[in-house]
């Protein structure tokens, strides 16, 4: 099951009441927020364990029912760009067949997510063109972050994915 931990402002935007959960696996938990980039609303999904992030546009107000589908499609596309083996991508996506929406619970993840949104908004004007979602994702997931011991999110995500897949195989 995938768990979307959504900020208060995002809960209002997608018009959904959060569910209460007892436990969440950090590898299948994603904090979600939104911001404006190039005059369009973009949702940022950040994995709790690895800090892997996806910045996705095309989600409209009141589309909570489509959130998981849009997320899974964008995650699959991004992991294909990263040339991850299909069996690993399929393993993760199969675990995400069900989803739930709840409130945020980690200041650390929110801080990292806010940092990446701020940097994208700043660089949007100065150096990078983040209109290309693949470039945007690859850039964000090659930044190093203190909460993951100064590693790159894509490396942490892939390592965890390989570990879990091998344990179940």
**pLDDT averaged over 10-residue windows placed end to end, the chain, 169 residues:** 95 92 96 91 96 90 84 96 96 95 96 92 68 84 92 97 91
| pLDDT given for residue 139 in this prediction | 87
| pLDDT given for residue 128 in this prediction | 65
| pLDDT given for residue 124 in this prediction | 63
How many structural domains does the chain have?
Answer: 1
Write the CATH number for 137.
3.30.420
> Residue 169 to residues 56, 82, 166: CA-CA distances in angstroms?
32, 23, 5
User: What predicted TM-score, i.e. pTM, was given to this entire model?
Assistant: 0.93
> Residue 84 to residues 88, 123, 142, 150, 161: CA-CA distances in angstroms?
7, 28, 15, 22, 10
7 is in which domain, residue-wise? 2-168
| pLDDT given for residue 125 in this prediction | 55
For residue 130, the 8-state DSSP code is: T
| pLDDT given for residue 168 in this prediction | 85
For residue 59, the 8-state DSSP code is: P
């Amino acid at each position: 099951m995938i768990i979307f931990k959504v900020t208060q402002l995002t809960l209002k935007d997608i018009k959904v009441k959060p569910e209460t959960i007892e436990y969440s696996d950090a590898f299948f938990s994603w904090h979600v927020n939104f911001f404006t980039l190039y005059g369009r609303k973009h949702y940022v999904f950040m994995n709790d364990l690895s800090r892997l992030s996806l910045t996705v546009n095309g989600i409209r107000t009141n589309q909570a029912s489509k959130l998981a589908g849009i997320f899974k499609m964008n995650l699959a596309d991004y992991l294909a760009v990263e040339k991850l083996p299909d069996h690993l991508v399929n393993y993760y996506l199969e675990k995400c067949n069900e989803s739930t929406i709840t409130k945020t619970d980690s200041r650390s993840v929110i801080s990292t997510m806010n940092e990446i949104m701020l940097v994208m908004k700043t660089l949007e004007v100065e150096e990078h063109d983040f209109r290309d979602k693949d470039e945007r994702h690859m850039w964000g997931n090659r930044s190093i972050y203190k909460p993951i011991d100064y590693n790159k999110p894509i490396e942490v995500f892939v390592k965890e994915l390989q570990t879990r897949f091998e344990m179940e195989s």
